[in-house]
Structure 1
Amino acid sequence: MQELAYRRQDAVAYARTWAFKRNPAYLDFENLGGDCTNYASQCLYAGSGVMNPTKTFGWYYYSAGQRTASWTGVQYLYNFLIGNQGIGPYAQLAQRDEVQIGDIVQLGDESGHFYHSPVIVGLADGEVYVAAHSYDAYMRPLSSYNFAQARFLHILGVRH
């Protein structure tokens, strides 16, 4: 396996391009539980260029019916990125002050249920700015969201 750098600028450029519209190459999951993690995965793919084709536990999208739960599900994306030992992007949990653009933040409620996966697109003056679908946003301050907890996923690299 070859280790590749995660192209953070490419992930953010994709986030900017598609923040307020939908890429027709992907199904819009807005009315099927939300499109946030689908959008986050698209941004991750733009920054990595590599999907993990492993059935069930990989991370890929070939069509609406041929995709993994990790492409569109908040907890499944977390599980994939934190546990990925194979092909594709991989991450570790990080503190708020350790994140970079192109990383993912997941928002949760008091019970520990995480429900939203914005992409970090800016950092300035102690504020984290995100892009997201399902309440489309670009350069929205993270502090403007109402959430009980946040977990930050710092993308360490990509394996090919």
Structure 2
Amino acid sequence: MGEREWKQALFAYVNQYNRSEVNGVPQPDEYLEVGQRMERAARAARLEQWYSERDAVPLRSETRAKPIRIVQDTPDEAVVDVQLHVRLFYEKGGMTHREDRIERERLTFTREGEAWQVTRIERDPAERKPAGGEVPFEQASFNQGGSLPLLNRGVLGFGSSARPSRYRREEAAAYADQWWDSFNPEFEAFDVDCTNYISQCLFAGGAPIHYTGKRESGWWYKGRVAGRELWSYSWAVSNSLERYLGSSSWGLTAEQVSRPEQLMLGDVIFYDWDGDGTFQHSTVVTAFDAGGMPLVNAHTVSSRHRYWDYKNSYAWTDNTVYRFYHIADYF
């Protein structure tokens, strides 16, 4: 297939994608499989209800498509991995808000006569994958006179102090905005990076390391040394960080609250997509909409100022359970 033909088909797909994000009407899908048509129709209906419940009005969607890999290219079919940077603008309470997210899709283009059509869309909602899979976790006791944190606090330009310090919420949110679509080279980057990113944000806000030397306890990070992964599960795994925040009584502590309206900048939300008690995704609060509801940042599917409930995510289900943590003001 000629490059121009392929780009024309992708351009048409992106235009349709933008319209579906704003007006709730599914993209033309007569060439798609039945299951995919049903999924798209259900999501379109959910988005329409979602905006209505929020008293928000979608204004426009601007999506940039970047081909990142051509998997197959024949005269009659092409399979292409595409990165979509979606910028969604909506109005609420007289204010215009912007949400960014970066998603990936595998598109199959098939020749239909003289034209090319998208005949298959493959998505693998990365937010549904917990980093590290199922890992053990225990809240180990911690002796303040014992081992010291081994992470160099100079990485982020902070000095060390044994005195209680304030959680710098604005700095946690600023760090989240700085690195929402890229990786700080001072840290490991993971395919499922959401909790590693959240831990960095907490640390940027001044949260103290709880070093135990055991991966299944504490909250700490040293990096990769001689091929060994030297960080706690709670640093990089959503379910482990949720359990850590729910039980920690020293250093980084938090209070579980019942409503998103109770959250502040730098607070954390966990997502259990299946309602089975295992949290697979985490986000950090970085802003608020005109109604005072949290907007969040995340990695894995890189997102900036996204509405907290994630109902526009392909990972979301009717069984989704949230857990809200208000980080302590002082450590």
Q: With the length of structure 1 as denominator, give the TM-score of the two structures.
A: 0.89
Partner residue, 1:149: 321
The one of 121, 125, 134 equivalent to 2:300 is 134
* Contact 2:261-2:294 at 8 Å conserved across structures: no
- Deviations 1:62-106, CA, capped at 9 Å, x for gaps: 10321111100112111222222223x210111212111100000
CA–CA distance in structure 2, aligned partners of residues 22 and 7 of structure 1 = 21
Shift of 1:126: 4.3
- Higher relative contact order, chain-length normalized (CA < 8 Å, sep 6+): 1
- Structure 2: where are the runs of 5+ without partners? 1-161
**Corresponding position: 1:20 with 2:181:** yes
- Which segment drifts farther, 142-151 or 90-99? 142-151
Structure number with bigger Rg:
2
Shift of 1:60: 1.0
Q: With the length of structure 2 as denominator, give the TM-score of the two structures.
A: 0.45
**Corresponding position: 1:92 with 2:255:** yes
Partner residue, 1:119: 284
**Corresponding position: 1:51 with 2:212:** no
Which secondary structure does the structure 2 equivalent of 1:78 belong to? helix
**Deviating 4+ runs (over 6 angstroms):** none
CA–CA distance in structure 2, aligned partners of residues 80 and 110 of structure 1 = 19
CA–CA distance in structure 1, aligned partners of residues 256 and 207 of structure 2 = 22
Letter of the 1:46 partner, please give it: A
CA–CA distance in structure 1, aligned partners of residues 242 and 329 of structure 2 = 15
* Contact 1:36-1:118 at 8 Å conserved across structures: yes
**Corresponding position: 1:81 with 2:280:** no
Letter of the 2:301 partner, please give it: Y
Aligned-residue CA RMSD in angstroms? 1.6
Identical counterparts, % of pairs: 31
Shift of 1:49: 4.8
CA–CA distance in structure 1, aligned partners of residues 254 and 293 of structure 2 = 21
CA–CA distance in structure 2, aligned partners of residues 83 and 2 of structure 1 = 22
- Which segment drifts farther, 78-87 or 64-73? 78-87
The correspondence of residues 58-69 of structure 1 with structure 2, limited to 5 A, is 58-64=218-224, 65-69=229-233
* Contact 2:242-2:279 at 8 Å conserved across structures: no
CA–CA distance in structure 1, aligned partners of residues 181 and 322 of structure 2 = 23
Q: How many residues align?
A: 155
* Contact 2:253-2:327 at 8 Å conserved across structures: yes
